[in-house]
Every structure is written in structure tokens, then in C-alpha cells.
Chain A
């Protein structure tokens, strides 16, 4: 009888090891693969301003569902924060290295510190209210070979109420993307 009892208890505990954890955090994770538009001139001069557009549709595909998700009606958020990197090629390391850009050299809409991490750029719901967009400019101040780096581009909702639905959007470029992010800056 002891063996039976121990067997039952062990079975319950072991089954628990294979059970999923029902973590319920009221957030929705989405992916977009075409969040960047960059009309790359490939060669710029010091003093030029490079522009690119960031954004995504208000209506996004969601894994497992046939209907697009209305991001704005779900969240009521008119802004999503994001950040990006600029890399410069280094002959020392023989690879691109991240460089810090003075915020004064970046042109574009910014989130306020109360709702987003410091120095976050934001995409905003456009006038047609069908997409979140931002145009970002970088004033080029030094020569070299550079690339825009969107490897960790995520769109995050504003800080705030735990009792509302929050949508997080990750940018993963399509494997067929031909977006060229490399450019040179000359004197």
C-alpha cells in the first residue's frame, strides 16, 4: 500500500514537470518584417543628413489568427517607443562597432521620459490613423563606413497601467529583404 501511495504522489509531481506554466501577463507579442524604409544613397558627405522611415501598420498579422489585430483599438496607444544603433567599421577589429550618437544629431519624434526610456524615439499614429510612423534623420559628422543597425529593433508601448492590454512588436527582417543599410561618409 505504501508503494501505491508513493507511486500516486510521484506521478502527480512528475506530471507537473511536463505541464506548461500558465503565465498570464496581459501582453501581446507581434512581429513585423517591413518596418524600415531607407532610400540609401550609399555615399554621403560630412554635414549631410541621412533620413530613414520607421513604422508599421495599425493592423498587424498575429500568429494563430486569420484576422489582423487592430493595435490601436486594443491598446489606445498613439505612440510606441523604439531605439536603433549606428555601427562604424573599425580597421582595428575588422568589423562594425556600435558608436554612440549625440542626441542633438538625431532628428525625429521622441517620447517623453515619463512614458518611455530615456532617449527613445517614437513612432506615432499618422493623420490617416492607419499606421504608426516616424521619420528619423542623422546628421553625419565624421567620415567612415557605417551601417544602420536594427538587429534589436522593438516597438514598446508606453509605461503605465497594468490593467490595460500592452502590445510589443519585434522587427525581424524578411529573409528576402534587399534592404541595404551600409553607407560611407566622405569629406
Chain B
């Protein structure tokens, strides 16, 4: 899998190197993309964004995570283990060189994620009608906020997108005095503009 990804990235970079100097006048307002890093962690995401004005874009991302995604998070505390199952992330982007050009980008995003927390006290009611605690899994939804930075290449007449991004998301949980953090929306994305 990793070798295939590396090959794909090299191919796209080669395409970029061969790209003509003059950019076409066509501007695309819509973009869909997916993170090539996530399948390595048994996960997948899909992003849609809509260009607004000359430098901004708004979008929505949906991600479904597998077991291995916990390698990218520091979201475990005490005896409990958190596993984020899926996540919806509205985001806003600022393209420093404009949203129709190769550009550095800054992103802020919100997060609504479904989480399984293992090792937590779970209260249930037994057959006799009394409450009983067990140590088990509790599922719940939690909100978060993140920021990201990256660079986006536009290839093949600006229709093909290749971008690298680093993103951090917190759910405002504290580990002592430090906010929790996870590498969300981090990786290499490939996409299509239309």
C-alpha cells in the first residue's frame, strides 16, 4: 500500500513538473478530494469544498476511521481508551495565492465525531430494577475544533488537485494543562475540480 502511494505521488509530481507555464483562464468552483494517507490506517475520508471569492473556500469533510487510526491520536487518558469512529468536519480555507492557483493554505475546521470510550464506568439497570455499574464501552458524540496548514498543487489544466496538509484537532479535553490533540486532516490529498 505504501509503495503504491509513493508511486502515485511521484507520478503526480512528475505531471506537475510537465505542466505548462500558462494557466488556463477557466476557474473551477468545486473540488472533491480524499486523503491518501488514511487507507494506510484502514480509514477513508471525502472532502467537498466550494470556492468563495478569490481567496476563500468553504467545505465539508466526512471521515470513517478504522481501528488503526488511534496511532494518530493522543486521545487516551488514564485507563480509558478513546476510538473515534467517524467524523464530520465543516471547514473554511484561505488560499494565500488565490483559490485558482498553486497556493499555501490555512484552514480552520469544526469537528463532530462519534467516539467509543473503552474502560469507562457504564451504568445499566438490572432485571430487578436497580442500577449497576460495569467497566465497559460508552459511545457518544463530541465536538472539536482544529487548524491546519498545507500547500495545494493544481495539475492537468487545474482539474487535478494534489495537496499536502498538516492538521491538528482538539476536543478541548485537558491532559493536565495541555489540550488533547489528534492529527486530523493530515496527509496527502488527491482531488478533482469542476
Contact = CB atoms under 8 A, between A and B. Distances in A.
Interface of A: 5, 8-9, 12-13, 15-16, 19-26, 28, 59, 62, 65, 67-70, 73-74, 162-165
Q: Which secondary structure dominates where chain A touches chain B?
A: loop
Identify the interface centre among B79, B123, B134, B173: most chain A CB within 10 Å of its CB: B123
B45 to A, nearest CB: 22
A65 to B, nearest CB: 6
B108 interface: yes
A73 B135 contact: no
Contacts of B134: 74, 165
Contact of B174 (A19, A65, A164): A19
Contacts of B172: 15-16, 19
Nearest to A8: B147
B77 interface: yes
Nearest to B181: A12
B133 interface: yes
Contact of A67 (B78, B80, B108, B130): B130
Contacts of A8: 108, 147
B121 A165 contact: yes
Contacts of A16: 170, 172, 174, 177-179
A5 B149 CA distance: 11
Name the residue among B131, B135, B177 with the largest chain A CB count within 10 angstroms.
Answer: B131
Contacts of B178: 16
A13 B179 CA distance: 7
B121 A28 contact: yes
A20 B179 CA distance: 11
B119 A24 contact: yes
A22 B123 CA distance: 17
B24 interface: no
Contacts, number: 77
Contacts of B1: none
Interface residues of B, number: 29
Nearest to A164: B135
Given A8-B147, A19-B172, A70-B126, 13 more contacts: A12-B170, A12-B179, A13-B179, A16-B177, A20-B174, A22-B77, A22-B174, A67-B131, A69-B131, A69-B132, A74-B134, A165-B134, A165-B135
A152 B172 CA distance: 36
A14 B108 CA distance: 17
A68 B128 CA distance: 10
7 contacts: A12-B145, A15-B172, A16-B179, A24-B77, A26-B79, A68-B131, A74-B134
Contacts of A59: 130
A66 to B, nearest CB: 9
A25 B78 contact: yes
A24 to B, nearest CB: 5
A26 B179 contact: no
Contacts of A20: 174
A59 B145 CA distance: 42
Given A8-B108, A24-B78, A65-B123, A70 B132 contact: yes
Contacts of A65: 123, 131
B135 A26 contact: yes
Contacts of A9: 147
B128 A22 contact: no
A164 B133 CA distance: 10
A21 B174 CA distance: 5
A120 B129 CA distance: 33
B120 interface: yes
